[in-house]
Structure 1
Amino acid sequence: MSLRGGTMDRTYTMDELFAAIRRRWKVTAAIAFGVLALAAVVIARLPDDYKARALVMVEPFTPHPDLVVPMIGATSLEEKVKSVRAQVYARGLMATAIEELKLYPKEREKYGMDGAIEAFRNDTEVHADGENVFAIIVRSKSAEDAAKTANRLAELMIEGNLQVRAGQVTRTREIISQKLAEMRGELSRAQAKVAAYKQEHADTLPELVEARMHEREAISKQIEQEEGFAKEAQHRIDLLGTQPFGKDTEVGRLEEQYDTMRAKLGAAISGLTADHPDVQALKRETEFTSARLQAARARAAQNDLEQRRMTAAIERSTKRVGALEQRIAQIDKLVAATPLTRAQIDDLEKDVDLVKVKVASLISKKAEAEITAELETKSGPAEFRVLESAQPPTIAASPNRPQALLLAFLAAVALGIAVALGQELSDRSLRSEGEVSMALTLPVLACVPQLAVVHSRPRLLAVHSENEG
């Protein structure tokens, strides 16, 4: 023990602390008892909280995947827990339960429906209790209210989940139908695009190639014929003036008539005299015919009608051949452009085929959606069921009074010990030779032991705050 500035500082060992507690056990016991009694009263007056649990089982209907593809995919346990918790904690569901069961009247009066819902959420727990089982736990001051609330939450959750799944099925069907209508419109546009392209390139369609080739072959034959006609006309022009006139011409008829008259005149001269009238008449006719023949020959030599006819025929054949050759050139150009048209049409038809595949797939999915929707409509009510209804609990879940009393007892004892140690630290009495020697800084010659006097209290020497030296 030491004095610094008139203040005494002590250093205690564990034995000294235990000795101080033993000396002041009455104070410790009194404080501990008082605190424990007060805590017991408070704990006894704490209201009881009851917890009720309702178990909901999920039994999803899963048809064989080879028969129908489910519209709503399977979810994991964690996702199921999140989904169920979100449904239970939803504002609409909790507000419905609060209004139906008239829960949290004070919170509703003070904070409105939002405050009541927040308190309801704090008193509600949702967690998995197996692979397909969920527990809905509700805490309340009343055991009956806890059970009714848990059961009603389970019922509302099942009803809401069925509505949600029905909405999902409806939305899925609507989405598929909308997409199918869009794809059908796209298919119509793609087919119209192919038809428009074919109409625009009607001369170079692949299916016309064979007809074009036959036409080209026929035109080639016509060119050969026209060229033959031109050659024949040119040949006839070359032979003009070198061949006898034809019988259908004036010169040819007169030559035939002149030959006939000469034959008659020769026959008459051989049978008659030269001065015979018949002979004279035949001579005159023969001379006249000869004169006419010479005149006809003269006119024929000056007339170029045949040459002009042949020349015109050659010109017509040449023009015809030119036109036919132009047609062949056009056909060749169209045939040469056909591969490009075919490639473009193939690309467009591939797009059409792809859209057709998509349309067929959507039609199949729509049929499967109809089947699945019907199955889910029939099996929906059996998918969720209450496995175990909540019953009013007979034992309160909180507070845990034995545990609270134990903690209160430990706290009371600790407080009593703390008070006793505080008194000991504030006590300046000297209880040993060492304390006296350290406090007075004087040698101790003798020590008088504590004397027990009847009806008297033990007295200890107090150390003044100032050293009298």
Structure 2
Amino acid sequence: MNFAQFLLILQARKKIVLLTLLVTVAATLLVSLLLPKTYEASTSLVMNYKGVDPLTGMALPGQLMPGYMATQVDIIGSKNVALRVVDQLKLAESRAVIEQFNESTGGKGAVRDWLAELLQKKLDVVPARESSVLNVSFKASDPQFAAAVANAFAEEYMKITVQLKVDPMKKATTYFNSQLKLLRDNLEAAQAKLSKYQQEHGIVSVDNRLDVESMRLNDLSAQLVQAQAQLMEATSRQSVARGSGSSSPDVTASPVVQNLRVNLAQQESKLAELGQRLGRNHPQYQSASAEVARLRAGLNEQTALVTSSVSNNANVFAQREAALRSALAEQKAKVLQLNRQRDEMNVLNKDMEIAQRAFDQAAQRVSQTRIEGGSDQSDVSVLNPAVAPIEPSGPRVLLNTVLSLLLGSMLGIGIAMLSEMFDRRVRSESDLAEVARIPVLATIDWNPPRQRRFGLPRLQAPQQLRLS
């Protein structure tokens, strides 16, 4: 079928198309006029979204804002909010409503649930594009009732948002209180353990004591090194003194020994002189010989005394070195003991600091959640409250009429095409050629000639032969 055949069919079935169009438009217009008028009231809400988790205090990213808006739309249209609206407006207490409920449901179910479902069906929540505004609309036959229900939905939604925010805060506060008590017990246990350890070991300030003992250890180490050097020197002098006492530096450096040696040399010189002049039995020679013997004995005695003094000095240095070595070992043990005590106290202090930090953080969070849990401020504000509309929102007679013209035209064309399918007729040369499967040689036009608007009609034969 080509477009020319389609136009011929519409021309032949134009009565059906026009009748269908008139019936559709008339029915739509009649129904639109008979339907009761409906009024739509709308209120606008602004979402002051913060996105803070009540337990962790972490702010959620802004990418979750579309999901947040969809959640708020679902909350407004939820049955819980609708039941609150029913209770606020006291709709379930009306006798007319109860009678209508009994007629509709036969008394099955609850009036509140039935009314909530009706309100949900007439409620429309639309979020504004690229903003934090929600438009809450409600349709009803009474404009005052529509505005009251829209405002009631907005008010109850604000209340339930506060409840949804406060309830987690209250649960979080209860949880933090229990955890705070446990953390306080842990902190007290850590402090008691540290105090007990300090009392048992008599520690006031382990760092200061460790510094003093470390300085003493360094001093003892220096003294031990010095004593060891002195002991080595004394031991060397003792060895030299014992080997050859007269050539010992200590013996040589002794003033008594030097004086005795000078006197002995003088007396020996005098004795030699007397030996040349006098005989050995001469009293002067005997006296000088006795003096030389006395001086030599004194020199030997002083040499022995100096040698003994060197040995005693070496023994003293050895004893001092041994005492310093023992004191150094004890001091090392004491410093190591203090280091162990400091390490143990550091562990105890670290445990106490961790317990203190955890307790402080929990105390801060429980204070914050307690404040937020007691707040009745909502994150939602009413931007534009609903007012009773003056003009009805429906039915839209003009729009319905335009739509009925389109629908009636399409329906009329469809009925015309359906009628043509059941009663197919030849309406053009192409139809005849298609049905008979023979070429068309000529066509006869049986239509009467058209009359001119001015003048006499043109004479023409009743039929016209046109060769194809």
> What are the Cα deviations for residues 317-350 of structure 1, in whole angstroms up to 9, with x where unaligned?
xxxxxxxx99998876454333223212112212
Secondary structure of residue in 2 paired with 1:394: coil
Q: Which residue of structure 2 lines up, in the alignment, with residue 44 of structure 1?
A: 33
Equivalences for residues 12-411 of structure 1 within 5 A: 12-57=1-46, 78=66, 81-82=69-70, 84-99=72-87, 100-102=90-92, 105=101, 106=104, 112=110, 113-114=112-113, 116-128=115-127, 133-167=133-167, 170-171=170-171, 173-198=173-198, 333=333, 335-363=335-363, 376=375, 380=377, 386-411=382-407
Shift of 1:85: 3.3
1:419 is the counterpart of 2:415? yes
Shift of 1:95: 1.0
> What are the Cα deviations for residues 36-80 of structure 1, in whole angstroms up to 9, with x where unaligned?
32333334344444321123456799xxxxxxxxx8969966576
Structure 1 gap ranges (5+) = 1-11, 62-70, 218-324, 453-469
Secondary structure of residue in 1 paired with 2:390: coil
Secondary structure of residue in 1 paired with 2:42: strand
Secondary structure of residue in 1 paired with 2:389: coil
Is the 1:21–1:417 contact (alpha carbons within 8 Å) kept by the matching residues of 2? yes
Is the 2:28–2:401 contact (alpha carbons within 8 Å) kept by the matching residues of 1? yes
> Residue type matched to 1:34 in 2?
V
CA RMSD between the two structures: 4.9
Is the 2:169–2:370 contact (alpha carbons within 8 Å) kept by the matching residues of 1? no
CA gap 1:443/1:19 in 2 versus in 1, 3 angstroms: closer
Percent identity reads 19
> Residue type matched to 2:73 in 1?
R
437-446 vs 40-49, greater mean Cα deviation: 437-446
Secondary structure of residue in 1 paired with 2:412: helix
Is the 1:108–1:116 contact (alpha carbons within 8 Å) kept by the matching residues of 2? no
1:450 is the counterpart of 2:446? yes
Secondary structure of residue in 2 paired with 1:393: coil
Aligned partners of 2:48 and 2:85: how far apart in 1? Answer: 25
Aligned partners of 1:415 and 1:58: how far apart in 2? Answer: 47
Structure 2 gap ranges (5+) = 51-56, 221-324, 449-468
How many residues are treated as equivalent by the alignment? Answer: 324
Aligned partners of 2:33 and 2:67: how far apart in 1? Answer: 43
CA gap 1:431/1:23 in 2 versus in 1, 3 angstroms: closer
> What are the Cα deviations for residues 229-272 of structure 1, in whole angstroms up to 9, with x where unaligned?
xxxxxxxxxxxxxxxxxxxxxxxxxxxxxxxxxxxxxxxxxxxx
> Residue type matched to 1:400 in 2?
R
Aligned partners of 1:442 and 1:107: how far apart in 2? Answer: 70
> Residue type matched to 1:14 in 2?
F
Aligned partners of 1:22 and 1:431: how far apart in 2? Answer: 10
Shift of 1:445: 8.6
Q: Is the radius of gyration larger for structure 1 or structure 2?
A: 1
> Residue type matched to 2:142 in 1?
S
Is the 2:22–2:408 contact (alpha carbons within 8 Å) kept by the matching residues of 1? yes
With the length of structure 2 as denominator, give the TM-score of the two structures. Answer: 0.53
